[in-house]
């Protein structure tokens, strides 16, 4: 189930980023999902769902936005490996 959300956007925004209103809406959904994922607020699966794309496509989108697909830091991974012994 989805819930429609209405956002007022100046008409000039579409020409500024060279997108149609539907493309602009899709890009906004993706940008929000990427940012919320980057902040650790949501999982990749949930972010992909919000963006309306597959998880694989979301991972490719992360590269476009220069966001790591990994939420753990190197230090966290080292600590996890140390504790696994």
Q: Give the residue numbers spanning the domain of 23.
A: 12-84
Is residue 1 very low, low, confident or very high in pLDDT (cuts 50, 70, 90)? confident
Calculate the average pLDDT of the chain.
Answer: 91
Q: Helix or strand or coil: residue 41?
A: coil
Q: Mind listing the pLDDT tens digit for each residue in 27-63?
A: 999 999 999 999 999 999 999 999 999 999 999 999 9
CA-based radius of gyration for the chain? 16
Question: Residue 85: what pLDDT?
Answer: 66
Residue 39 lies in a domain: yes
Overall domain count for the chain: 1
Residue 21 lies in a domain: yes
Residue 46 lies in a domain: yes
Residue 1 lies in a domain: no
Q: Percentage of the chain with pLDDT > 70?
A: 99
């Amino acid at each position: 189930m989805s819930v429609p959300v209405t956002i007022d956007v100046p008409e000039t925004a579409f020409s500024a980023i060279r997108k149609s209103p539907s493309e602009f809406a899709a890009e906004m959904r993706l940008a929000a999902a990427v940012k919320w994922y980057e902040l650790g607020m949501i999982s990749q699966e949930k972010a992909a769902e919000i963006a309306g794309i597959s998880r694989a496509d979301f991972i490719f989108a992360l590269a476009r936005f220069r966001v790591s697909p990994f939420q753990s830091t190197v230090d966290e991974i080292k600590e996890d490996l140390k504790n696994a012994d």
